[in-house]
Structures are given as structure tokens and as C-alpha cells.
Amino acid sequence: MWSRSKTADLTEGRAPALRFPAPVSAWPASHPEGRIPQAQTASRFRRIPVYRQKYIFLLPGLLVLIAVILFPLLFTIRVSFSSWDVYNPGLNNAGGAMYARMWDDARYWEALRRLSVLSISTVLIQYVLGFALALLVWREIAARRFFRVLFLVPMMTTPVVMSVIWRTIFHESLGPLNPILDAIGIGAQPWLSQPGFAFAAVMVVEIWQWTPFMFLLLLAGLLSLPSEPFLAAKVDGAGPIRTFLSVTFPMMGAISVGAILIRAIEASKIMETVYVLTSGGPGTSTETVSYYIYIRGMRDFQIGYSAALSLTYLIIMAVALTLIAKALMRLMVRGAQA
Amino acid sequence: MTKGTALKRLFLATTVLACATGLASAGDYSKYGIKEDVPGICSYAAIDAKDYSGRTLNVITHAIPVIGEPTALHAQQFQELTGATVNVVHVPFGDLFQRVMIPFQTQQAAYDVLFYASLWIGDFNPYLAEVPAEYQQVSGMQAVTATYRGIASWGDRMLQYTMDGDRHYLKYRADVFDNADAQALFKEKTGRDLTVPATWEEYNEVAAVFTNTDWDGDGAPNFGTAEVTKRDDLMFSAFISRVAPYAKHPDVKGGFFFDLETMTPLVNTPGWVRGLELFVEAQASMPPGGTSFGLGDEIFSFGGGQTLMSYSWDDAFIQAMQEDSPIRNKVAAAMLPGAREVWNRETGAWDSFEDPNRVAYVTWGWTSAVAKDSKNQDMAFDFLCFFANEGNTESDLQIGRFGINPYRDSHFDPAFYETELGWDKAVAETYTTTLKGIDTAPNQVFDLRVPGVGEFMSSLAAGVARAQSGEQTAQAALDGVAAEWNAIVERIGADRVREAYANVVALEDR
């Protein structure tokens, strides 16, 4: 049935349209199966529930999904409407008190603003560096395989362990970085004890650790590009910059958006680096939302309040990332295609 | 003698010999590393006589090594002696509170025995079993000083089983203070003689003179002070050490953190503000990175010989006195510096003191307890009394990384540190004199042991950090803290906080 319709559409010069088989009751009498006795046809309809068995196959996965994702989410929503803390145990009904309190919590909103700056700047730098490295080893260069593996090493290390190592590197008395800076005439810097430097230190660790992720995705994208457009560009006499701007970059638009979004989602949850490197200080200069929620929830044991903070954060991030995704699609995919 | 008689005698002799050997080996517990098994219900012999085969004890404790390592060690020993199965769960400090609290609140008897920070008693007390009278009467518990028995108690009930004693005190490089060149330098710069600081102003002054100077001649610069300044890394304790002499008037009773009557926070009163201003001022005399030092950094900075002075718990002092330390026997201990001007909140004025007001800050300390819902309370208390018996404690005190510090009268004997640890007599004397002085000081401050202490201290640390980083002035930062504390008190209920805080005030105003 489907193939006949497709042929018909093609003959009429239109794009093929999907057509579903007509219901059994509409079959002409000449239809080979139209000769099925009425009772048999009815039994066919009765067999429909048999197809519903497919849902049974979905059930285990569905249950796991409910248990792993939906239940904690629903539970968090419930907890956020309670005032569960160290002195009010359990799920009472506090209405929207936790959300009202959050509204006046300047430290939370400041942490959110700081996180936005941190995420956007680090992800963009990671994208630029990752793209550059991917372009470097995409071409035929010596020891290409070695460099591909080497660039992935930071990503394969445990974030907490790497943060501890970086903390040692940045240590202003005992770490190796300041003596090096001294030796080259730049001078020692207050890496973890001045707000601006501490923020920069967190950025450096994030960029170092996650640029390889960008590199990996973008390299995979580059390797999957067809060779014809590049040959055409070469024939047209395009140089490397022109080829990059007019061929490579536009064709990498979709995968770039994917890579940026995945990293943005991860970057919005930054916690280990801040925890180990600065504990949110000096002052509150490197405190991010995740770390603040950790303090409220785990240290201060304000379970209800931290649930409200988490949910609000989830909603804000979902909306923000959706908007970012749309903007990036328009800019990097549709814009490039136009 | 017939053959039969000879055989009988041989059998009898063999039996007697076997019994004697068995008894001898049963009484020899030196293989566990103890010097002497002090008799009593907590002794190795007494625990060895118990049979807990087939029973399981669940223990939650801190990560290895601090407290976690001795817990694991004594759990293994207890297992061997009694036949019990002891499951020890090690938890990083950041997770410990909630890992204990959630089972409490959800009424799951997840753990029988708990090791945690003693200041959490304000939160945990409803869920803890009282230490039975028989355990309170054992020699090891009777030797616990009144200060640490007070810390273990909630009202008139002992809910925590004492196994550690902590306090803040001053540590300094005695070799530098005794050095003629250093004395001359100080005299030249300040016009006065170099003495061990008696006030925090003097502390800052000494630190400033000796900062960024190679006073130990190793070619690397040295610095004046190492302090715990990193937010969320017990910095609040360092800050309270600095504030206490300015804000804890010896003649004004009724609260250091709050006015017990009104439950008004006192954290933004002039005494507290002065302490914070001096804390901020001292940053100039800290090593590079010293303004974000955690406890570990402070330990290694002073213990490694980088800084002239420091103050916190025993760890830095013990580190400095390790056998491989470059500054072994070059250090000394003293009471925390005091203040010559103390804020009197009753008169609303500063009072002057010729002899500085010295306040002993008895802060933190690990402790242990048994859960009220535990089905194994008999075995749990046996384990704790075994853990803290005299033999085990003497052994544990000698291992710095265990985190167990003096808390019994016998622990303040300098001879112990001279003979067992090889300390010089003068060092041992200053150490034990200081510790004993703190224990018996007339003006003491204890931690805020009330429900929600974590939240109160987290708020305080955030405020202090803002002043340290220059985000706010000392007054503005502490005004912010006071506002937050008011909100917390309002949420918990003023009466509830007052009832708990009365226990703290009772300890301070003894």
C-alpha cells in the first residue's frame, strides 16, 4: 500500500507522502483479504489489544525512569513546600514560605549571576580552544594519534583530584606557579586570596578540564564532514581562512550547537572545582549556585529550603538553556545555511 | 611409681601447663599496642570476657585518618575480643552531619554508634541514649575533667561519651622569641621588648614585625601568623578566638553569642567588631595565600616552620613536634592572647583591664554517642568504653593523625610527653600548663551548642569572609550576620534556642 502511494506521488511530481493503510472495514471486496468472513474480521479487531502488549515491553524502562528521574523530582517538589530542616523534621506543609524566603536571598541571586558569567565565559573559551585543537589534529600532522589522546587526558581525570592538584599549583606559598611567574618577571599573584584572581583560577581549571570534551565532539564532527565541499572550495581557489569561514564553520554549525549546549548544561552544575579550590571564597566571590545549595542543604541541613532553591534553579536553567539553544540554532545553523 | 600413675601425673602436669599458658596469653594485650590494661569494665580483659558472637554493631565515623583511623583500629580489636561484627562507615566531614541526622529524623536505626563534632549536641540530643551510670563511674570517665564532662552533657544528662578534648591556644616559635637578634629587631621597630603576645593587638604587632623576613636563616621568607581563614573550613572558630576577649566580659554573665534573656544576637556589638577588625588587619602578616588557609594549611605553615605564631587546635603543635620536624622542640604553647579593653554590654561602654582579659575558648572536639533507637546499646556502650579506656587513649594520644587530644587529668602530666614522645621538658611544660590553664580558666567560651548551630556558624563565617575580602566593613558584615541570626532564631523559635543556649551559658558562667 505504502509503496503504491509513493509511486503515485512521484508520478505526479510531488514529494512522497506517508499514507497509512485503510482500515479493514474499508477494504473493497476484491481485496485479497477482503474475503475474510465477517466473524474473522471482527476477531481481527479483537486482536488489537495484542498490539498493546508493546507497552508491557516499555514498562520496565518506564518504571526505571519513574524511579530514577520522576520520583526524586516529584519528591523534591513536595519537599520544597515543607520547612524540613534540623529542627522541623519531616514533611509539613509550609506553603510557599521557602520560595518567598528565596526571593529575598541576595546571596542566591548573586551566585546565579556569578554562575552565568562563569559558565558562558568558560564554555565559549572551551569552544574556541577545542575547535582550534580539533582543527590542528584533523589535518595530517606528525604524531596525530598521540596528540588526539594527549588532548583528552584532562577530561579523563577525576574533577576532585584535579582540583586538589590545581589547588596545590595555585598555592601561593608552596605551589609551583608563583615561583615560575617570579622567574619570568611577572611576579607572584594572589591566586586564591583575591576575589578576581580566585575567579580566574576557577575558570582556568574549568577550561583546562573540559576543553578536551569540546575537542572530542568537534573532532568527531570534522571527521564526519564530506570531502566534496572542500574540493570544490579548493577548485574555486579559496584559501584556508576563506575555506574555514565559508565551508568548515557553517558545516560544523549543528555539532557546535550540540557541543556548546552539552557543556553549558554541565558548566551550570559546577561544584567540585569551587568546593576544593576556593570553598566559594574569598568572601563569596566564587560561590556558585550548586555550591550555595550544597551549603544550605548539606551543611546547614535546610532540606526544604535547598529543595526550593534547587527547583527554581532547575527551572531557570531549563528556560535559559532553551533560549540559548534557539539563539544558537538561529545564529550558527540557520544563519550559516542562509 | 606405676606406669598408670606416671601417665596420670604427666596428663595433670600438661593440663596445668596448658591452663597457665592460656591464662598468660589471655592477659597479655600488649600486642594491641597498649602499655597497660587498666582494670575495670572497659579494660581489654573485661571486654575479652564478653561474647557478642552473631551480633552486629554499626558505627559511623569520620574519614581516615582523623578519628576514622582509631575507630577502625578499635573496632577491629573489639571484633577480635568479643566475636561481634563491627561495621564501620567512614564519611567525609562535609557529609557527616546529614548522614547522621537523616536516619535520626526518619527513625531508622541505621547506626548504633556515632562519632561526630561535639558541638552538634544541640541538634542530636533528642536522638541520643544517656550514658548508663555504670559507665559514668568507670575510672577513665571519672578522670575526664569537669570541662569535658560538661561538653558531654546536655542539662544534667550525659549523652556523649568523651573520647577527645579540644581547645584553641597560642603556639609560637620559642627559639625566635628567645633570640637576641630578634629581640633587638623588635625593640628597634616598636620601642618595646619582645614578649609573648598578651593581647591580640600585641599579636598583630609581633606578626607584622616578623613577616616577610628570613628570621630562621633558611633563605626563604618567613611570616608572622598562620590562621584558619578559609570560609567553611572551621574559620568561625579562629574568629571566635580573636573576638572572645573583647566581647566576653568576665563580670557580665548571661551569654556571649546571644543575650540569654532577650535572645538578641550580640555578634554585631563593638567587642565583636573590634575582634573582626584585628582579624582583618592580621591578613597583612600572613604568608602568601594565608587569607584562604584551611586548617591543613595552618598546620603545615606553622608546623613546617614558615610562620612565627599560630593559634588553633593541637594539630599544628603536634606537627611541629613530630620527630622529623625541623622545628621540633623549638616551639611553645600559651593561652590565647587577651584584651585590655572589653566591651561591657550591660553598661554599653568599654572597660579597661590592667591585666588582659584572657578567655579560654573550648571549641569543637570529637565525641561519640549511642543512638537512642539502637537495639544494641549494651554492646555499643561497651565498644565506646573500650575505645576510650586508659590504655587505648594513652596509645592514641601519641599518634598525631588520630586527632585525639588530652581530656583527662592524667593527660596534663608533662612527664608523659617527655618519656613517651621525647619532648623537651620546657616544651612539655608549656604544653601541659597551657592545656590545664584552659581547662580551669575562670573565663571560658564554648561553642554555640543549639539547634541549627551549622546554620548559625555558616552565616557567621560568610559574614567574616565578606569583611576579610573587603566586600564589606567589619560592622556592616556583622550587622548582616546579626540580621540572619535573628531570622534563624525566629524560624526555630526563640524559646527553643534559649532553652538550648541556657546549657551553654551554664557552662560558661559556672
A88 and A136 co-located in one domain: no
Can you list the residues of chain B whose pLDDT is less than 70?
A: 1-27
SS3 A74: helix
Does residue A16 sit within a domain?
Answer: no
pLDDT over threshold 90, residue A65: no
SS3 A201: helix
Find, in chain A, the residue whose alpha carbon is nearest to that of B462: A283
Structural contact between residues B37 and B43, judged by C-beta atoms closer than 8 angstroms: yes
CA triple A124-A125-A131, angle to 5 deg: 90
Does residue A95 sit within a domain?
Answer: yes
**Within this chain, domains B44-163+366-404 and B169-363+443-508 share the same CATH topology:** yes
The domain that holds A149 is classified in CATH as 1.10.3720.10
Alpha helices per DSSP H over B425-452: 425-439
Chain A: nearest CA to B449, how far in angstroms? 13
- Record: fold of B44-163+366-404: D-Maltodextrin-Binding Protein; domain 2 (3.40.190)
A91 and A122 co-located in one domain: no
How far the first Cα of chain B sits from its last, in Å, is 78
Domains in chain A, number: 2
Residues 6+ apart with CB under 8 A from B27: B37, B45
Q: Which three cell numbers stand for residue A200?
A: 580566574
pLDDT over threshold 60, residue A284: yes
Task: Give me the residue from A85, A172, A285 closest to B289, CB to CB.
Answer: A172
- Reading phi first (left if > 0) and then psi (alpha if -120 to 50, else beta), residue B54 is in left
Report pLDDT for B84: 97
Q: In what helix (H) or strand (E) does residue B366 lie, and over which residues does it extend? A: strand B366-370
A82 and A109 co-located in one domain: no
Residue B86's closest CA among B443, B347, B384, B506?
B384
Chain A: nearest CA to B171, how far in angstroms? 20
Report pLDDT for A135: 92
Does residue A8 sit within a domain?
Answer: no
A124 and A78 co-located in one domain: no
Report pLDDT for A49: 57
Q: Which residues of A fall within a CB distance of 8 Å from B454?
A: 86, 299-301
Q: Which residues of B fall within a CB distance of 8 Å from A199?
A: none
A155 and A67 co-located in one domain: no
Q: How confident is the model at residue A13 (pLDDT cuts 50, 70, 90)?
A: very low
- Dist. CA B288–CA B220, nearest whole Å: 13
> Does residue A302 sit at the B interface (CB-CB below 8 Å)?
yes
Inter-chain touch A283–B123, beta carbons under 8 Å:
no
Q: Which residues of B fall within a CB distance of 8 Å from A173?
A: 287-290, 301, 306
Does residue A39 sit within a domain?
Answer: no
Q: In what helix (H) or strand (E) does residue B114 lie, and over which residues does it extend? A: strand B113-117
Inter-chain touch A299–B458, beta carbons under 8 Å:
yes
Which of A:194-223 have CB within 8 Å of B? 195, 198
DSSP tag of B307: E
A87 and A228 co-located in one domain: no
A119 and A146 co-located in one domain: yes
- Dist. CA A128–CA B157, nearest whole Å: 64
Task: Give me the residue from B95, B123, B471 closest to A86, CB to CB.
Answer: B123
Structural contact between residues A307 and A98, judged by C-beta atoms closer than 8 angstroms: yes
- Reading phi first (left if > 0) and then psi (alpha if -120 to 50, else beta), residue A81 is in alpha
Inter-chain touch A299–B492, beta carbons under 8 Å:
no
Tens digit of each residue's pLDDT (9 = 90 or more) over A153-188 = 888 888 888 888 999 999 988 889 999 999 999 998
Residues 6+ apart with CB under 8 A from A286: A114, A195, A198, A199, A202, A274, A277, A278, A280
Residues 6+ apart with CB under 8 A from A285: A114, A195, A196, A198, A199, A278, B469, B471
A87 and A165 co-located in one domain: no
A81 and A186 co-located in one domain: no
Q: Where are the domains of chain B?
A: 44-163+366-404, 169-363+443-508
Q: Which residues of A fall within a CB distance of 8 Å from B235?
A: none
* Cis amide prior to B65 (ω within 30 degrees): yes
Structural contact between residues B452 and B492, judged by C-beta atoms closer than 8 angstroms: yes
Q: Which residue has the cell 567553611?
A: B232
Residues 6+ apart with CB under 8 A from B330: B173, B174, B175, B320
Q: Which domain holds residue A94?
A: 63-99
Q: Which residues of B fall within a CB distance of 8 Å from A87?
A: 123, 451-452, 492-493, 496
- Dist. CA A211–CA A216, nearest whole Å: 9
Residue A302's closest CA among B488, B481, B490?
B488
Q: Which residue has the cell 552565616?
A: B459
Q: H/E/C letters for each residue in B228-250?
A: CCCCCCCHHHHHHHHHHHHHCCC
- Dist. CA B124–CA B139, nearest whole Å: 27
pLDDT over threshold 90, residue A28: no
Q: Which residues of B fall within a CB distance of 8 Å from A297?
A: 98
Residues 6+ apart with CB under 8 A from B487: none
Q: What is the CATH number of domain B169-363+443-508?
A: 3.40.190.10
Find, in chain B, the residue whose alpha carbon is nearest to that of A190: B289
A79 and A149 co-located in one domain: no
User: Best mutation site among A87, A276, A287 for testing chain B: the one with the most B CBs within 10 Å?
Assistant: A87
- Dist. CA B221–CA B213, nearest whole Å: 5
Q: Which three cell numbers stand for residue B390?
A: 586508659
Find, in chain A, the residue whose alpha carbon is nearest to that of B466: A283
Inter-chain touch A279–B294, beta carbons under 8 Å:
yes
Question: Buried b / exposed e across B223-248, counting CB within 10 Å, b at 16+?
Answer: bbbbbbbbbbbbbbbbbbbbbbbbbb
Q: How confident is the model at residue A34 (pLDDT cuts 50, 70, 90)?
A: very low
> Does residue A82 sit at the B interface (CB-CB below 8 Å)?
no
Does residue A226 sit within a domain?
Answer: yes
CA triple B175-B179-B184, angle to 5 deg: 145
Span of A281-290, A303-312, B3-12, B366-375 with lowest mean pLDDT: B3-12
- Dist. CA B459–CA B479, nearest whole Å: 11
Report pLDDT for A24: 47
Report pLDDT for B269: 98
> Does residue A270 sit at the B interface (CB-CB below 8 Å)?
no
Tens digit of each residue's pLDDT (9 = 90 or more) over A197-256 = 999 999 999 999 999 999 999 999 999 999 999 999 999 999 999 999 999 999 999 999
A181 and A299 co-located in one domain: yes
A185 and A71 co-located in one domain: no
- Chain B residues at the A interface, defined by Cβ less than 8 Å, are 94-95, 97-98, 101, 104-106, 123, 230-233, 287-292, 294, 297, 300-301, 306, 451-452, 454-455, 458, 462, 465-466, 468-471, 491-493, 496
Q: How confident is the model at residue A123 (pLDDT cuts 50, 70, 90)?
A: very high
What DSSP letter does each residue of B166-208 carry, written as one string? ---EEEEEHHHHT-HHHHHHHHHHHSS-----SBHHHHHHHHH
Does residue A89 sit within a domain?
Answer: yes
- Dist. CA B98–CA A306, nearest whole Å: 13
Does residue A237 sit within a domain?
Answer: yes
